[in-house]
Amino acid sequence: FISKYTINLLIIYTLSYSKNQMGNFDHTSCSCTGKGVVLKNAIPGDQLDEVLRRRAEEYRKQQNRTNTNLDVLLVAPSNSPLQYPIHGFTVEPLTKSLIPGLAVHAGTRELYKVFLSVSYGNLLVDGATETDLVVGQGQNALNISTTCVDRLNQLLSQVSYTSTIYRINTRDLANFTFEDHAVTFPIIIKRSSMPVLYDPGTDINTQVTVATKTFLRYKELNVLIESIRKYYKDIKIIIADDSLNPERVNGSNIERYIMPPAQGWFAGRNLAVSQVTTKYFLWVDDDFQFNSETKIESFVEIMEAVPELDIVGGAVNNNQFYFKLVYESGDMEEGGCLSRVFNTTHQALPSYPHCSLVDGVVNFYLARTDSVRRVGFDPVLNRVAHSEFFMDGLGELLVASCGNIKIGHQAQVNHNTYSEYRTQKKTDERRKLAHHFFKNHLKCVEY
């Protein structure tokens, strides 16, 4: 009967919902090209051993949180008379569910004997009678013996699985054996989550909030606000302000949050975004200026048409800054390698000829509020930091860049105090590299 069951060798990578999908089998060392910065050098020599030890420990725990025991390669054997769910069997934790699709397709035998086993649950055959030979009811290993294949398949169609562990997202592997045929299939144990919806309301003002962060540049900020009001009379503006001496800001429907002085870029962005109540927010820098090409509606239209998108960026003074990140998780001990490649995209965005899918965009973008909150802006980074948000969002945010939605940039004015705070000092640079070494488990980075 073997030829009847000749099935091509199927290689199944069990799907993982985690960031480091390949994390468990990709242990090869990676390298950055000549321009890459080796991050280890940013750690003071006398602290390196201790930092490495702590990093390895945190990495192990992070992998445990995001990878599952199912990140294993399963190869389906050829010529198997066993029928079983290859993929997609998902159960609620601690809840009984019928295992779909279990059957044996075999020629005549005197006795049919199958064996099923799991690691984190119980198996139960409903409707088994005294005459059926079912051993191990309610345990993690079950033997079923019958003299009739139809009865066997009837019983197999009644087998249910109940997880015995409570986890919100993990997997079990079930073994299913008949004679010398053995297969393994995944059972996904997943707590259902509830949707979180934003009521978009009826117009642009109920869909979008404009958010910005300011530091000392009140003249520019007021020009920005005036330009917003010229095109969007009523849209809410949220400003996070960590200036040394907060000044008056003119305008209506403005929510300004005064922060302790010089808290930094990312702290301010987090604060501003935390206060948004609309589905989307439009990020702008405090020295931008709306013009007739600044069409928030165009961003919204794209986001609504492609709901998988999380961020859509535009162009600032015709500069459509965008980049792709190339990441390899690398060796467990050494860490990964990251490089940023400008002016490269992953793919065009179908139906939108001016837009492409990328990993990072300019500081002028429309974002899905809840997606950005999930990634967040790392407040450790307090001066120059832009790509860092997109690094944290890698694999979490679907980002597009569109060259036809534009905003102006006000003429640069020299502010001495501003530059002094804004300019990255050598010690900041080193601190930032040391931060990536630990936080992102990176070995080298190439900007």
List contacts with ligand NAG (CB under 6 A).
64, 67-69, 115, 117-119, 135-136, 143, 175, 184, 222, 250, 342-343
Give the DSSP letter string of 77-145. Answer: PSS--EE---S--EE-TT--EEPTT-EE-----S-EEEEEE-SSEEEEETT--TTSEEE-TTBSEEEEE
For 365, the 3-state DSSP assignment is strand
Cβ–Cβ < 8 Å for 360, 399: yes
Instruction: Report, in Å, the least distance between residue 222 CB and ligand NAG.
Output: 4
Residue 429 DSSP label: H
Instruction: Report, in Å, the least distance between residue 44 CB and ligand NAG.
Output: 32
Report how many helices (DSSP H) and strands (DSSP E) the chain contains, helices first: 10, 28
Instruction: Report, in Å, the least distance between residue 420 CB and ligand NAG.
Output: 23
Instruction: Report, in Å, the least distance between residue 67 CB and ligand NAG.
Output: 5
Nearer Cβ to ligand NAG, position 117 or 157? 117
Instruction: Report, in Å, the least distance between residue 371 CB and ligand NAG.
Output: 26
Nearer Cβ to ligand NAG, position 155 or 276? 155
Structure tokens belonging to residue 358 = 């990328």
> Pairing state of beta strands 311-316 and 399-409?
parallel
Cβ–Cβ < 8 Å for 114, 174: no
Structure tokens belonging to residue 180 = 């010398």
**Separation of alpha carbons 174 and 84, rounded Å:** 10
Q: Which helix (H) or strand (E) holds 208?
A: strand 208-214
Nearer Cβ to ligand NAG, position 160 or 175? 175
- Long-range Cβ pairs for the range 427-436 (8 Å, 24+): 428/383, 430/42, 431/42, 432/381, 432/385, 433/37, 433/39, 433/41, 433/42, 434/39, 434/42, 434/43, 435/380, 435/381, 436/39
Instruction: Report, in Å, the least distance between residue 107 CB and ligand NAG.
Output: 20
**Separation of alpha carbons 104 and 179, rounded Å:** 11
Nearer Cβ to ligand NAG, position 230 or 425? 230
Closest CA to 355 of 386, 317, 399: 399
**Separation of alpha carbons 216 and 210, rounded Å:** 19
CB atoms within 10 A of CB 445: 23
Nearer Cβ to ligand NAG, position 68 or 263? 68
Instruction: Report, in Å, the least distance between residue 137 CB and ligand NAG.
Output: 11
Nearer Cβ to ligand NAG, position 17 or 201? 17
Q: What are phi and psi of 273, to 5 degrees?
A: -65, -30
Instruction: Report, in Å, the least distance between residue 136 CB and ligand NAG.
Output: 6
Instruction: Report, in Å, the least distance between residue 388 CB and ligand NAG.
Output: 18
Nearer Cβ to ligand NAG, position 1 or 342? 342
Nearer Cβ to ligand NAG, position 270 or 356? 356
Nearer Cβ to ligand NAG, position 303 or 391? 391
Instruction: Report, in Å, the least distance between residue 273 CB and ligand NAG.
Output: 25
List residues bridging with 135 in a β-sheet. 143
**Separation of alpha carbons 311 and 333, rounded Å:** 33
Nearer Cβ to ligand NAG, position 222 or 275? 222
